[in-house]
């Protein structure tokens, strides 16, 4: 049995809070400076700081930090530059794992630092010397600058975000749906449908842009904005696109003359220069009808640029006469189930001359959009897609048999809750009577009638009752004509629901601040990632007698289960805990929640074990 080394006993030396205080100090300065300037990149610096503080080992260079989360090429490059400057000022052997009050000489590193050991006869080599030797020795060549290929997905995303940021009053970011819609005009590949034999779309390049620190993704739903490096690259791409010189940097002219070769985002950084792709010409090689015809008549390309520029200048505004009111019909209302009855609705709308469009709606069955009128461009097969703003009217259609089934399985309460939270201020329930057929349903007719009355009186929905499909089509026709007249002289503005929230306005006048259809439909996805507040609201609504208004009133005071439990812990007695929510006011009449519901909620969240 081999002799084992004796165990060394004694007090362990306390580990420092962060073994890389110098890098932490520089990152903190970068974050604070970016925050003062209002740059979105301060979120990236903050995430990098969190990753660095959790890493227990010392780092010899910023390049080693690439194994950590949120450390991209941009941050590592900045830290390495600061490290080289630090070595120049304090000497090549200056300590980097502590912040001494005085300069230390060589050999005074902490013995516990995990720096890589050198051979006895080897002299210490600085990072700059190693880099010089690497370049002189003919090793791996310097990495090329990362520039997306023209008309690629990354190219379109960078340009779209840059142009959006130049619009006066811009929110500084874009959501996924609106970013895909606007960027599609600058890309030859689809952002949603992969090519034949491939699983990648143009949107796949976004992950590469984030990895290269050109793009930052925050919040939920996701918001995409340019980083400092991405903004600089987008300015160069825009200058090359328009043929103008960017005035940001005086050295840009030299960079433009010696611009790097345009490479595809999917190319590897380790490829040699001999294997690089040739420079992409200004005009794509792919056959494009409007480009070739534009060369012949000299007008189509200019008209596209003029139209794009005019749409950027108006800041999302639709003046009177520049849009049409279009009825949007959920595709479920035209397919499946009773095919004859659903096709009858479409035929009635066509017979009445209603301008409608069938599409997928994530909430509601009918709504109206203000669709921008876009003139077709000479030489193009299809006219550019116009912007769409959602009017504040949305309809949920219910037959008596459907109402009965939705009450039994719980969909009815959930649908009402989602309609209230969808961002549109005037939800409508369109109820189709079944006549004598109601007597053959699982629930008595009196229960169904009471549910309809509660929807109107308690929940505050406008309820319209009709007899059959033909009357439903007639009501939709009248509403379409009414809204066309109501908005014919109105100037519409696009607002972001994420920034403004649920704005309460005077309901007697039409709202001219509307949500884009892409943002509305994406925000109404049923199975999308939910916040803690949304899950908490769903939990509360499972309690018998606790409606959406009551849940919303509780959420105004306690928006998470943790905040509610903390309030219970601050109570001095059981009786006080049971009556904590009794005085919470809800609804338009501002009634109290009551002691019974308050006690039920307390038992639900504070009882140990199963409820009896």
- Active-site residue set: 330, 333, 365
3-state secondary structure of 464: strand
What is the full DSSP assignment across 54-77? H--S--SSGGGGGGSTT--HHHHH
Peptide bond into 221 cis (omega under 30): yes
First-to-last alpha carbon distance for the chain, in angstroms, is: 64
Of 84, 67, 85, 65, which is closest to residue 19 (Cα–Cα)? Answer: 65
* Beta pairing class for 174-175 and 215-218: unpaired
Q: Which two tokens stand for residue 584?
A: 């919470």
What is the chain's alpha carbon radius of gyration, rounded to the nearest angstrom? 32
Strand partners, 390: 369, 515
* Beta pairing class for 513-516 and 388-399: antiparallel
Q: Which two tokens stand for residue 23?
A: 């890098």
Q: Rounded to an integer, what is the distance from CA 146 to the centroid of its chain? A: 25
- Who's near 105: CB < 8 A, 6+ residues apart? 91, 93
CA distance 74 to 213: 6
Of 517, 315, 331, which is closest to residue 424 (Cα–Cα)? Answer: 517
Q: Which two tokens stand for residue 29?
A: 């300065």
CA distance 573 to 606: 13
* Beta pairing class for 585-586 and 366-372: unpaired
CA distance 324 to 322: 7
């Amino acid at each position: 049995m081999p002799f084992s080394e004796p165990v060394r006993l004694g007090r362990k030396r306390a580990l420092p809070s962060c073994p890389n205080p110098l890098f932490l100090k520089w990152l903190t300065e970068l974050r604070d400076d970016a925050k003062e300037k209002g740059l979105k990149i301060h979120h990236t610096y903050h995430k990098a700081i969190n990753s660095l503080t959790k890493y227990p080992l010392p780092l010899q260079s910023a390049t080693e930090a690439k194994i950590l989360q949120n450390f991209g090429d941009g941050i590592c490059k900045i830290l390495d530059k600061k490290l080289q400057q630090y070595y120049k000022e304090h000497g090549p052997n200056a300590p980097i794992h502590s912040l001494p009050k005085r300069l230390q000489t060589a050999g005074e590193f902490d013995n516990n630092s995990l720096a890589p050991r050198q051979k006895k006869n080897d002299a210490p080599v600085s990072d700059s010397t190693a880099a010089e030797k690497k370049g002189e020795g003919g090793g791996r060549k310097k990495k090329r600058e990362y520039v997306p290929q023209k008309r690629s997905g990354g190219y379109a995303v960078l340009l779209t975000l840059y142009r959006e940021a130049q619009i006066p009053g811009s929110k500084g970011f874009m959501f996924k749906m609106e970013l895909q819609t606007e960027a599609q005009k600058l890309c030859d590949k689809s952002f949603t449908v992969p090519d034949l034999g491939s699983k990648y779309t143009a949107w796949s390049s976004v992950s590469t842009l984030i990895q290269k620190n050109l793009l930052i993704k925050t919040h939920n739903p996701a918001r995409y904005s340019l980083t400092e490096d991405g903004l600089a690259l987008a300015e160069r791409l825009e200058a090359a696109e328009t043929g103008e010189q960017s005035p940001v940097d005086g050295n840009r002219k030299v960079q433009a003359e010696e611009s790097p070769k345009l490479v595809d985002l999917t190319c590897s950084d380790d490829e040699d220069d001999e294997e690089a792709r040739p420079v992409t010409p200004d005009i794509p090689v792919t056959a494009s009808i409007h480009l070739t015809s534009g060369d012949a008549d000299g007008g189509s390309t200019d008209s596209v640029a003029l139209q794009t520029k005019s749409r950027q200048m108006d800041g999302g505004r639709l003046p009177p006469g520049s849009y049409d009111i279009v009825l949007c019909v959920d595709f479920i209302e035209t397919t499946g189930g009773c095919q004859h009855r659903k096709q009858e609705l479409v035929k009635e709308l066509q017979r009445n001359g209603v301008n409608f469009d069938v599409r997928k709606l994530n909430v509601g069955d009918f709504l109206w959009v203000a669709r921008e009128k876009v003139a077709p461009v000479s030489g193009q097969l299809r006219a550019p897609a116009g912007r769409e703003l959602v009017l504040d009217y949305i309809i949920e259609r219910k037959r008596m048999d459907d109402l009965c089934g939705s009450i039994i399985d719980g969909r009815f309460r959930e649908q009402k809750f989602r309609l209230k939270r969808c961002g549109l201020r005037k939800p409508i329930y369109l109820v189709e009577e079944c006549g004598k057929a109601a007597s053959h349903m699982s629930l008595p007719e009196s229960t169904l009638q009471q549910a309809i009355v509660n929807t109107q009186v308690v929940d505050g929905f406008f309820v319209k009752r009709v007899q059959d499909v033909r009357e439903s089509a007639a009501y939709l026709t009248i509403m379409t004509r009414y809204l066309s007249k109501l908005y014919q002289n109105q100037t519409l503005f696009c607002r972001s629901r994420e920034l403004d929230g649920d704005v309460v306005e005077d309901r007697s006048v039409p709202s001219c601040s509307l949500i884009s259809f892409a943002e509305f439909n994406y925000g109404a996805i049923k199975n999308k990632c939910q916040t803690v507040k949304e899950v908490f609201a769903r939990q509360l609504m499972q309690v018998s007698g606790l409606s959406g208004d009551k849940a919303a009133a509780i959420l105004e005071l306690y928006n998470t289960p943790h905040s509610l439990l903390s309030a219970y812990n601050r109570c001095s007695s059981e009786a006080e805990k049971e009556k904590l929510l009794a005085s919470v006011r809800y609804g338009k009449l501002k009634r109290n929640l009551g002691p019974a519901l308050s006690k039920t909620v307390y038992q639900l969240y504070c009882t140990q074990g199963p409820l009896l």
